[in-house]
A and B are shown apart, each in its own frame.
Chain A
């Protein structure tokens, strides 16, 4: 390697509260290289990048060495560091809204970034450069006049990228740049980031918890665990032949959108930030740990000659390389699930042509705009006993509104039938009974658990409401906790004593305790770490197989859908546009919207095709389509198929709402022209 662009040696980061977040990290990056940094929450990724760019919070100490193109950054005073930011290192943040000044137009913000580092430039030169940057990140010139809050998440992130590359930095650091975005937008933003990097000829340090993103974009990957880099290798090598048990576990815990497979949940939990010990930090969770592992810390090592090197910090890495220890010895993948399950029974939930509109003139805004927001515009959905159905779509597609309709009396058109009863036509008492047969597992488990109640009281509440007596209640609570894989002592804990994964399981236990006919899971694994999510996904699949769990899973995550669902309904702008068995939908998506979504899903395999943005770039989905709409297919502005249609066919899209019609025995599609052209790869 020539002189490295970034050379980190023996870096330690300690926070004021005593947490030792980064514990001696060595990391090199070549100029122009994309290095992916992966690891679960608490692994020290963010602390490491904050240390590198000099943005550590007050009271944190940084020791070791960080050299950027030969310049030592550790120990530089704030002023010198600030001078380096911009032309040296630039940062793209996870949430651009929090770093973009809300009172300035975004064009001005980009211009400011330019002026900050070169006060001599003329206004004219700045404007030219701002125009250039906006073109580069794919924003129309008009957006320069907008304020940050007026832009969609993807557009904001583009502005963030424009600011970061304004001064042509040598190194771009992107901390979870697309975590908050929908898949289609995520791909666009990552592409913009990559283009920007190439234009500026910068290196990119891409921090992500998403192995799919890293597989698609990084040249090399570094895996962090408990403050150490435990493995570092070219992306293809790392995914093909990991040499460290934690990496193996991580790779086997990720759901793959291409095929459902058994996931391996890594047992236990990572050490806390205050942890200290002489041995390998992964030893307590490592299935192949040896006595030596707990005593001596393995150093990051391997074949130093091969460039770029594949390094791993594990005493048994050589055995893994040599083949005396196979990946299955470390984390065995379970036998594939028996897909021949009994045919699903009667419908538990039937939603027919559900339409929901909210009046805008309600409440205080009485004299403001009058009109309607069409949140849901024709949803058809059936969930049968013993199957898991996924309702998938981007944010703003109307998924949540649909689910709320099942639980709340929101005025709506269409029918919702639970266990054969039309919800709108049943009396109060029947409705109450029906309601108890459906349980909701909310997305935010922290919010869904009463901080004042013990786990036992929370899980037991639905039973108490159903007047189940105390001994019986305790027995069933204990059984439910066991079912979701929680230790019995958890019953006496308060939510704040539990980890995110445990809370999620408590929420599931609460939903299961009444033996409901249907469980609705809203984004069941959103925000969970890969290994924790894997455990939960396996648990849900087990529950379906062993006790016939019937569930509706609402999510935007297609990998989760693939892993869990028997059937999928795809939603876009308030409508179900396609519905089919999972395998059929993933192998041969029919609706252009489904195709676009699938093409954009990151795959945790570097040899697979990189996800593509098939949807046309911004404008993104109007998050709240306003009506009353003229009859037309509201997908037209972004439909990849529409763009290639002949004008008279386009006319039909513009004047007639496509109905959800059966295309084959078990598939329905809502598109006039899906048979005509199949956009090729």
Chain B
């Protein structure tokens, strides 16, 4: 029999038993069916947007003199518009543009919100006040009016600028949310511990604040992608986003809208594609958020 004094002091406490790790976020995502559906759908859409054009002989600007304003058929899967262009190819071009714009705009907006909100919330003091004053200013400026004023310049600048403009218009609310969450995290033991240990502000933001807001941020990106597609569509609809002859889902919807009653395919086809794309992103985002939430909520 061993007595406690035989045990080497340093392990006098019981050697506490092994723990079975439950795997990280990615394991949970991988096991989630919804994540697969969302990811599959999104991958499918992107793939289709890229390789879809080769499936048909036409290109987007080709004018088919034998088919003006025809409904969907074997020859023109999505029908044609009034001047005989193939809507299938047009939707694909529009989808590519819309996706690219949204996939850039949403992460940029969230990133901006994450940086500004976390820094403001963690730093406090005048940094906080200055940043939040900036946010409030941007919230009250009538953005749409500004856009109309700048639209000639925008039109020349191309889609990257358009994406950044959309991001710049939509990040403010999230920045406020991130700041509020950060302020409550700031008083948590692990954040204080890191600061006691001399961790600089950026370190704490990257290693402690963002991971703990991950589900919020991921949700915001997904909501943001959907919203950005719609914002772009709205802007294009009003003629301040993508301009003819360039095509996006927004311009297509704008063009098809008036004809929705008489030639519904002009509106329904781009609208359906838009809905499916937004759904795919939302599904994936939901699954990601659930995976991120597991465990952390109990932690």
Contact = CB atoms under 8 A, between A and B. Distances in A.
Are A and B interaction partners? yes
B9 A545 contact: yes
A502 to B, nearest CB: 5
Contacts, number: 150
B18, B19, B211, B214 pick with most chain A CB within 10 angstroms: B19
Given A332-B4, A334-B4, A465-B198, A450 B208 contact: yes
Interface string B3-25: 11101011111111111111000
B20, B193, B196 pick with most chain A CB within 10 angstroms: B193
A221 B196 CA distance: 45
B16 A502 contact: yes
Interface string A491-503: 0111111110110
Nearest to B191: A450
B212 interface: yes
Nearest to A535: B13
Contacts of B4: 262, 264, 332-334
B260 to A, nearest CB: 48
Nearest to B19: A493
Nearest to A458: B190
- Interface class of chain A by DSSP: helix
A657 interface: no
A497 B207 CA distance: 20
Contacts of A502: 16, 19
A93 to B, nearest CB: 26
A440 interface: yes
B295 interface: yes
B193 A498 contact: no
A446 B298 CA distance: 10
A536 interface: yes
Contact of B193 (A448, A484, A490, A495): A448
Interface residues of B, number: 39
Contact of B189 (A444, A489, A505): A444
Interface in B196-219: 196-199, 203, 207-208, 211-212, 214
Contacts of B298: 451, 496
A536 B190 CA distance: 21
A435 interface: yes
B197 A489 contact: no
B51 interface: no
Contact of A465 (B1, B199, B211, B299): B199
A452 B21 contact: no
B17, B189, B196, B197 pick with most chain A CB within 10 angstroms: B197
Given A436-B197, A442-B189, A496-B295, A452 B12 contact: no
B63 interface: no
Contacts of B194: 461
B9, B15, B212 pick with most chain A CB within 10 angstroms: B9
Nearest to B190: A450
A435 B295 CA distance: 32
B188 interface: yes
A465 B208 CA distance: 14
Contacts of A446: 189, 299
Contacts of A617: none
A335 interface: yes
B47 interface: no
Interface string A376-403: 0000000000000000000000000000
A448 B189 CA distance: 4
A333 B4 CA distance: 7
Interface in A633-679: none
Contacts of A3: none
A494 B14 contact: no
A370 interface: no
A488 B17 CA distance: 9
Contacts of B296: 451-452, 496
Contact of B299 (A269, A408, A494): A494
Contacts of A499: 16
A466 to B, nearest CB: 9
Interface in B165-201: 188-190, 192-194, 196-199
A546 interface: yes
Interface residues of A, number: 64
Contacts of A458: 190
Interface string A317-339: 00000000000010011110000
B19 A498 contact: yes
A485 B11 contact: yes
B193 A538 contact: no
Contacts of A462: 197
A127 interface: no
B208 A546 contact: no
Contact of B15 (A444, A461, A465, A485): A485
A445, A451, A535 pick with most chain B CB within 10 angstroms: A451
A486 interface: yes
A334 B199 CA distance: 41
A485 B13 contact: yes
B136 to A, nearest CB: 19
A267 interface: yes
A268 B12 contact: no
Given A461-B207, A483-B10, A546-B10, A490 B15 contact: no
A180 interface: no
A456 to B, nearest CB: 11
Contacts of A493: 19, 21
Interface in B1-56: 1, 3-5, 7, 9-22
Nearest to B294: A496
Contact of A486 (B1, B16, B199): B16
B62 to A, nearest CB: 53
Contact of B12 (A408, A494, A498, A538): A538
A99 interface: no
Interface string B247-263: 00000000000000000
A447 B1 CA distance: 40
B9 A496 contact: no
B13 A484 contact: yes
Given A451-B295, A496-B298, A505 B211 contact: no
A373 interface: no
Nearest to B299: A451
A346 interface: no
A538 B298 CA distance: 29
Nearest to B295: A496
B9 A407 contact: no
B19 A497 contact: yes
Given A435-B196, A444-B189, A465-B199, A546 B9 contact: yes
Interface in A504-526: 505, 510
A483 B10 CA distance: 6
Nearest to A262: B4
A592 B180 CA distance: 48
A62 to B, nearest CB: 28
19 contacts: A265-B13, A333-B4, A440-B193, A442-B193, A447-B190, A448-B193, A450-B208, A453-B211, A461-B194, A461-B207, A485-B11, A494-B22, A496-B299, A497-B20, A502-B16, A505-B13, A535-B14, A539-B10, A546-B10
Given A452-B299, A497-B20, A539-B10, 17 more contacts: A268-B14, A268-B17, A334-B7, A334-B12, A335-B3, A442-B189, A445-B189, A446-B189, A448-B190, A453-B190, A453-B207, A453-B208, A461-B197, A489-B19, A542-B12, A546-B9, A546-B10
Q: Which 7 A-B pairs have the closest CB atoms?
A: A451-B299, A535-B13, A448-B189, A334-B4, A542-B9, A447-B189, A452-B211
Interface of A: 262, 264-269, 329, 332-335, 407-408, 432, 435-436, 439-440, 442, 444-453, 458, 461-462, 465, 482-490, 492-499, 501-502, 505, 510, 535-536, 538-539, 542-543, 545-547
